[in-house]
Chain A
Amino acid sequence: MSKEPVAVVGVGQTKHVAARRDVSIAGLVREAALRALADAELTWADIDAVVIGKAPDFFEGVMMPELYLADALGATGKPMLRVHTAGSVGGSTALVAANLVAGRVHGTVLTLAYEKQSESNAMWGLSLPIPFQQPLLAGAGGFFAPHVRAYMRRTGAPDTVGSLVAYKDRRNALKNPYAHLHEHDITLEKVQASPMLWDPIRYSETCPSSDGACAMILTDRAGAARSPRPPAWMHGGAMRSEPTLFAGKDFVSPQAGKDCAADVYRQAGIADPRRDIDAVEMYVPFSWYEPMWLENLGFADEGEGWKLTESGVTELEGDLPVNMSGGVLSTNPIGASGMIRFAEAALQVRGQAGEHQVDGARRVLGHAYGGGSQFFSMWLVGAAPPTS
C-alpha cells in the first residue's frame, strides 16, 4: 500500500486588509474559495469534501462557524471538517485535507482557512486570565518577547537584526498584491525608530491584525493531470506538538519544531535543507523569529541564523529567500496565516507567484507554528511529482 500523491492545483486569497466591512464572514471565505476554484478551472461540483480551519471561535464570536459556512462553501451534502490547532491551524488544515487525498478517501478537496479579526480585538482575545495558569500578559507579543531576548543573549546577535527582517518583509509585501501592509515609504530608519512595544520588539517588527481568507484545491494524480496550470506536488508534511510549559522546555528552539522539520525532510528526501530547499515561507509574527526558525529548521547551525539574515541571504534576491510574500509580518489573519505560508510555497513551485516569484524555485518549505511555540505544521512542495 502506498500513499496517493497529492497536488495543489488551485490557490485563492482575498486581499488582506485591517477590516473587510463590505462582506460577511461567509462572503469572505467564499471569495477565497471561488478564486481557488477559478485558478484550478473547477466548479463546486468537482469538490468532494471541504476542510476548514481557523483560530479561536471567540475572534468572530461564532461557535463552530463551519456549521453556518456550509452553504457558502458549497459543502451541503458533502463532508466538512473543522480543524483548530492554534496559530499553526492554517498549515494543519491543509495537512488534514491532504490526508483525505493521500488516503484515497476523496479525489479532490477544498481546504480553506480564515480569520476576520475586525469582528473583535485579537490581542485581548489572546489575553484571557485563566486561573492557575501563567498569564500571557498583553497579547502574544508579551509572551514571545522574553524568548526573543533569550535568543539574543544566547547567540550574541546584534540588536539590528530584527529590524532587517521587518524591513525586508515589508518591502517584499509591496510585490504581493494580496498582502495587507503596503508601506511604500518604508525605510530601515523608520522601522528602527518605531515605538518599542514589548522590548525588544518594536511596533514595525510586529504582525498586523488582518481580515482574510486563503483557499487551496488539493487533488490526486488524476486530478493533477487535468490541471490547466502546473501543479505543486506535496513531497512531505508533518505536525508536531509539545506542552505549553514544562521544566526544560527550550522556547528559543523547541524540540517539536526540530522533529517536525526532520520528519518532513525524511519524507521529501532532503539531506541538507540549506542546499536542497530553494525558498521558505515561514511563520514569523515577530521579526526575530526569522533567525530563530532558520536554526530550528536546520537552515543554519545553532547561533548562526542571524548571520544569514544580516548578510542578505534571506532577501528576495538572496540565496535562500524567506517570506517572499511579505510573510506574517505584512499579513496576519491568524487562522489563515499558516495556510497562506503553505499556499505561497505552492505558488512559488508552480511559478505563479508574480512579482515575488523566486526564479527557478523547485522545492519550497511552508511552515506554521502556534500556541506557546508548541504546535508545528509544515509541508514541502515541489515542481516535480514525488519519485517514491
Chain B
Amino acid sequence: MEPIRDIAVVAFAQSDHRRTSDELSEVEMLLPVLHEVLDRTGLKAGDIGFTCSGSSDYLAGRAFSFTMALDGVGAWPPISESHVEMDGAWALYEAWTKLLTGDADTALVYSYGKSSPGSVRDVLTRQLDPYYVAPLWPDSVALAALQARALIDAGETDERELASVAARSRADASANSHAQLRGPVPQGDYLVRPLRTGDCPPVGDGAAAVILAAGDRARELCERPAWIRGIDHRIEAHSLGVRDLTDSPSARLAAERAGAFERPVDTAELHAPFTSQEVVLRKALRLGDGVRVNPSGGALAANPVMAAGLVRIGEAAARVHRGESDRALAHATSGPCLQQNLVAVLEGDAR
C-alpha cells in the first residue's frame, strides 16, 4: 500500500553496545544518544512534533521504567509523546502513523535496554504463555535451538552454514565501532544443541534513536533522506506447536505489504539474534546472493534487547544517507522464534 505522505528517516544515533553498563542508569545511557541524533539535524527537543519510545519494564526490573527516560528528552514545556512496550522499531511505526495523519512533521523515536542486570535468558521466558509454557521456563536460547534443529532436520541448513553466518557477521562488525562483538569470535561449544555460543547474540546494554521527518522538512534536515516506501508488521500464533519454525509467514507478509518484493533491494539489515534465524529470514524475505545482508554485523554483533530492531532501521537508513544503498530492507522481530516481524523498505532519491 502506498503511504499517503512521504516520510523519511533523517538521522540515526546509537550507543556503544556493551556487556555491562553498571555505572549508568537507563537515562544516563540514553541521553548522549538523544543529543547526538538531535545534533545531526540541528533540531532541539522543543522542535520535535511527536516523540515515541520503546522499552520493557521487565528488562528494567521495575514498573513505569520509561517515565525516567523521559527526563533525558526534557519534556518541558510538555510534549506530544507516547510509548510502546515493544522494540523501538514499533515505536517508529507508531511515529510514522502519527506523521501520516499530518498532526506532526517531525518525530523523535528512541529505545533502550539493559540486559546486564539480570539473566536475559530467564527474563524472556516471562513472555511465554503464562499458564502452559512459562512455568516450564524454556529460555530464549533453548527455543531458538528448537528452531535451528527443525531447520537442520528439514535440510534447510547445516552447522557449517550457521558458523559462516556467525563469522561473516562478526567480520563485518569490525567496521562498526558501536558493535559489541567485532572480528573473529570462536564458534565455541554447544550452548544448547545444535547452537554453539558463536550462533548466539552477545548479551548487552544499549540505546538507539532516530528522527523521522515528512516531505520537504525531511529534505531540509538531511542531504539524502531515507524515504520509508513501505512499512508493515505482522504477528503469528504464540504456540510454537502450531507454527512451522522453518518458515516466517509473518515476515513474508509484512515484506509484501511494505512493497519489498516490488523491486530488489541492495541491502538488508535483519534482526536475527541467532544464526539460524538469518536462514529463515533470507528465505521468507527472498533475499538473493546479491543482497548485502547485515553490513553492520547485525544482532549477532550487538543485541541490546528492545533497541536492536530500531538499530536495524537506523543502520539501513544510515547507509542510504551515506549513499551506500539506494534501496534497503530493514527488519525487526519480537517474541520467541520470530513470532512477530516488522519490515520497512527505505529508499534514497536517485543520484
- Evaluate whether A246 and B76 lie within 8 angstroms (CB atoms) in the complex, with A104-B100, A374-B67 already known: yes
Instruction: State the CA gap A86–B85 with chains docked (Å).
Output: 11
- Judge if B239 is at the interface, Cβ distance under 8 Å: yes
Interface residue? B244 (CB, 8 A): no
Residues in B neighbouring A75, C-beta threshold 8 A: 235
Q: Is the Cβ of A103 less than 8 Å from the Cβ of B85?
A: no
Interface size band for A: 35 or more
Known: A60-B130, A81-B84. 14 other contacts (CB 8 A): A2-B102, A64-B56, A68-B128, A75-B235, A81-B94, A82-B90, A104-B4, A104-B100, A240-B80, A241-B80, A241-B81, A242-B77, A243-B70, A246-B76
Interface residues of A in 72-122 (CB under 8 A from B): 75-86, 92, 95-96, 99-100, 102-105
Q: Does A184 contact B (CB under 8 A)?
A: no
CB distance from A23 to the nearest CB of B (A): 11
Given known contacts A60-B130, A239-B81, A259-B77, is B63 in contact with A70 (CB within 8 Å)? no
Determine whether B291 belongs to the interface, using a CB cutoff of 8 Å to chain A: no
Contact between B4 and A103, CB atoms less than 8 A apart: yes
A82 neighbours in B (Cβ, 8 Å):
84-86, 90
- Asked whether A240 lies within 8 Å of B78 as measured between CB atoms, the reply is yes
Contact B340 A80 (CB under 8 A): yes
Do the beta carbons of A240 and B81 come within 8 Å of each other? yes
Q: Contact at A62–B237, with CB atoms within 8 Å? A: no
Distance between Cα atoms of A184 and B339 in the complex (Å):
48
B71-93 vs A, CB cutoff 8 Å, 1 = contact: the mask equals 10011111111111110001001
- Chain A residues with CB under 8 Å of B58's CB are 57-58, 63-64
Q: Provide the bound-state CA to CA distance between A172 and B305, in Å.
A: 46
B interface residues with partner A (beta carbon < 8 Å):
1, 4-5, 25, 51, 56-58, 62-64, 66-68, 70-71, 74-86, 90, 93-94, 97-98, 100-102, 123-124, 126-131, 134, 232-239, 249-250, 253, 334-336, 339-340
The answer on a CB contact under 8 Å between B100 and A103 is yes
Give every chain A residue within 8 A of B127 (Cβ-Cβ): 62-64, 67-68
Whether the Cβ atoms of B4 and A70 lie closer than 8 Å is no
Given contacts A56-B63, A62-B130, contact A255 B78 (CB under 8 A): yes
Whole-angstrom CA separation of A241 from B25 in the bound complex: 21
What residues make up the interface of A, taking CB atoms closer than 8 Å to B? 1-3, 24-25, 55-71, 75-86, 92, 95-96, 99-100, 102-105, 125-126, 128, 130, 132-133, 238-244, 246, 254-256, 259-260, 263, 371-372, 374-375
CB <8 Å contact, B97 and A100: yes
**Residues from chain B with Cβ under 8 Å of A240 in the complex:** 78-81
Residue contact B130 to A84, C-beta cutoff 8 Å: no
Contact of B80 among A56, A239, A372 (CB under 8 A): A239
20 contacts between A and B (CB under 8 A): A1-B4, A2-B102, A57-B56, A57-B57, A57-B126, A58-B63, A63-B124, A64-B127, A64-B334, A70-B237, A79-B232, A85-B82, A85-B83, A103-B100, A105-B1, A241-B51, A241-B70, A244-B67, A259-B78, A374-B67
| B78 near A256: Cβ-Cβ < 8 Å | yes
| Bound Cα distance A15, B5 (Å) | 42
Once A80-B340, A256-B78 are accepted as A-B contacts, the answer to whether A56 and B64 lie under 8 Å apart by CB is yes
Give every chain B residue within 8 A of A77 (Cβ-Cβ): 234-236, 249-250, 253
Partner of A1, one of B62, B66, B102: B102
In the docked arrangement, what's the CA distance between A130 and B160, Å? 47
CB distance from A341 to the nearest CB of B (A): 17
Assembly CA distance A40 to B74 (angstroms): 42
* Closest Cβ–Cβ distance, residue B301 to chain A (whole Å): 24
Interface hub of B63, B64, B84 (most chain A Cβ within 10 A) = B64
Q: Looking at the complex, which one of A1, A63, A71, A84 makes contact with B5 (CB distance below 8 Å)? A: A1
Chain A, residue nearest B95 (CB): A99
Q: Are B80 and A238 in contact (CB under 8 A)?
A: yes
The answer to whether B64 and A86 touch across the interface, beta carbons within 8 angstroms, is yes
Contacts of A61 in B (CB 8 A): 126, 130
